[in-house]
Each structure stands twice: as structure tokens, then as C-alpha cells.
Structure 1
Amino acid sequence: MEAAILNIILEVQPKSMGVEDLGCSSGQNSLTAVSQIMHKVVTASQKIGLPIPELRVSLNDLPGNDFNEIFKSLLELYKNVKNDYGFEGRYIWGLPGSFYGNLFPAHSLHSVHSSSSLHWLSQTKSTALH
């Protein structure tokens, strides 16, 4: 992940970077990956001397997920990111829906993370992946 983010920052030099967590879960565990990705983006940007892009982070899970628990945890994440990096350019929202269909417009994401949802790909028809 670190090499991929460094490559995106170096090659694309986005002013705004789209990040997705598919199958984000609920509660504090859901923000662990997002926090790590934010750290890697800030570190990579500083390493090569480029401005830190603002981060547009989508947290996706099925509509039954309790996004309220995630949203309650965001203030602590925002505070930690500001204290650790002096960085406030982050926008995080929940996006309920199945990742078997289209969730995002074309060319809107730079990085996609999934800890547990990829094992469900065996349940989809091959046409949905094309």
C-alpha cells in the first residue's frame, strides 16, 4: 500500500485524492485502515516534498451497517490527524450499498481498500466484474 500511495502522489500529484474502504465494518475498527492510509498519504507527500492532497474518503458497507457508530468515531480521528500532522484536509462519509454495482463515478478514486469484502466476490456473476 505504501508503494502504491507513493506512486500515486508522485505520478498523479492529485490535489484531491479519492480513497475508498469497501466493507468498512462498524465502530472504531472501521477507521483503522483509513487512519493508516491517511498516515501513508501524509508521509509520502512530505517525503517527496509535494503538498498533501485533500482526502475524500468513502466508507462503504451494506445499508444494514450502523454508520452512526462510525460517525461518532470521526471526531477523534479528525483530532488525531490534526494533532499528528497539522492536517485538516479530509472529508469522510458513509456510502451504503453493494460493491457489486457502481458506487462511484469514473476516475473518482485513487485508492481502494478492503479487509474482508473480497471473499464475497465469488458470489457475483462474472459480468458484474467487467
Structure 2
Amino acid sequence: MYIYKYDKRPLIENSQSISASVFVRNYYLDLKKSVSLDNKYSFNFNDEQFVKDLIVKIEQNSTVNLKQEINGKIEFTEPNRVKLTYTKSNLGKGFVFWFICPACGKRVRYLYIPPYSEVSACRRCHRLVYEKQNDNKRFRGFNKFF
């Protein structure tokens, strides 16, 4: 992890991020394409058992890799395993998907991979901040005008 002393903290905007809901949706779409239409496999996101089975498949088969370009060559980092969980949505039917941060074990919506690291973790573990949070508190009001 990053340890800062007298410098500004690293920014979220400079890091690669992945959302749990986008991750599940992309895996679901790939799974739906691979299953033939002859198969009578039902895709129902309102069924809790289907969601549990989908999360088990994702955890067994999925990893998160960092794709970066170094000296014109595209390189991938070591794969990081992901853990997922879900909660029922308060807005009616459906579920909200969450990652379990590999570093601290907290439930988070986004995992980040900053430029200086190969590990995917939440923003608290990487000590990432938004750009405005690095500004001096006295001068934050002036930024609204400029």
C-alpha cells in the first residue's frame, strides 16, 4: 500500500476502477451468450437462488487484472481473485451487488487499482482521495470561482 509523508495523497481519478454491478452484468451477459437457446436455463435476476448460483460461478471463474501500457507494450498484472456478495434492493425487486475488499474485508461497490500497485482494493486501503480533498481547506471556496 502507499505511504505518504509530505506529499499529496494519490487520486481516485488516476486509478483504474471496477464496479461490482458492471462486473456482474458483464459476466451475466457472457454467460447468456455461451448458453445455447436449446438449453432451458432461466435467467431471472429476481430469483434469489439464481443470484446465489451466479455469484458462486463468478467467484470460481473470475479474476481482476490491471491492463497497463509500458513503453508501448501492453502488459497485464497478476490476477486478483474477487469475492462478491449481495443485498436486496430497497427500491422493489432486484439486488445490489458488492465486492468484498481483499485487503480489509469490507463490503464496497468499487475496487481500485492505482498506478503504483498491482493489488485491487477499496479506496480506504489504497488511501485514495478525490482531487478536491487534496486542496487546502482555506482555499477550497476559491476553487468554485476558478
Q: State whether TM-score is above 0.5.
A: no
TM-score by length of 1: 0.28
Higher relative contact order by CA 8 Å / sep ≥ 6: 1 or 2?
1
TM-score by length of 2: 0.26
Larger Rg: 2
Question: Is the helix fraction higher in 1 or 2?
Answer: 1
